[in-house]
């Protein structure tokens, strides 16, 4: 999927809850290493990044952690994005 196609798809999902998986195999935020699986609401889409709020970072040791500030994610780091009910629970293995 090209970045312009991704931008169009994200614009369709704006103001909706999504499940997002990022391209890096793992990330480190606040000293916690985790798989890049997020649930959030898309609040802004530009040609270079998206802004997310109410970001639930799916960490196995803190599965209900909501990041306290909005996050900006570069478009080129997004692997998968799909509409998702943020109340849905699933196992992280």
Q: Where are the domains of the chain?
A: 3-83
Tens of pLDDT, residue by residue over 14-41, are 999 999 999 988 888 778 788 888 899 9
Contact 86, 17 (CB under 8 A): yes
Q: CA-based angle 14:90:71, to the nearest 5?
A: 35
pTM, 2 dp? 0.83
- Residue pair 42/51 in contact (Cβ under 8 Å)? The answer is yes
Check residue 19 and give its pLDDT: 94
CATH 2.30.30.100 fits 3-83, yes or no: yes
Residue 40 β-bridge partners: 18
């Amino acid at each position: 999927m090209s970045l312009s196609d991704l931008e169009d798809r994200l614009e369709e999902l704006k103001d909706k809850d999504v499940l997002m998986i990022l391209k890096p195999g793992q990330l480190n935020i606040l000293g916690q290493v985790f798989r890049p699986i997020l649930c959030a609401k898309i609040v802004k889409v530009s040609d270079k990044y998206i802004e997310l709020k109410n970001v639930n970072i799916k960490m196995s040791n803190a599965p209900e952690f909501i990041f306290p500030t909005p996050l900006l994610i570069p478009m080129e780091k997004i692997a998968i994005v799909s509409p998702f009910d943020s109340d849905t629970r699933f196992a992280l293995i």
